[in-house]
Amino acid sequence: MLKRPPKTAQQLLSTGPLAELSKRTHQAEHLNALWQQAVSPALAAASRCIAHRDDTLFIHVASPAWVTRIRITESEIIQRFNQIPEIKVNALNVQVDPSMSYAVTGSK
CA atoms within 13 A on the CB side of 52: 21
pLDDT (tens digit per residue) in 37-75: 999 999 999 999 999 999 999 999 999 999 999 999 999
Question: What strands lie across the sheet with 56-61, from one edge to the other?
Answer: 47-53, 56-61, 91-96
Q: Which domains does the chain have, with CATH numbers?
A: 15-105 (3.30.300.180)
- The pLDDT of residue 108: 44
Coil, strand, or helix at residue 94?
A: strand
Confidence of residue 25 (pLDDT cuts 50, 70, 90): confident
Neighbours of 36 (CB within 10 A): 15
| Residue 59 and residue 35 in contact, taking contact as beta carbons nearer than 8 Å | yes
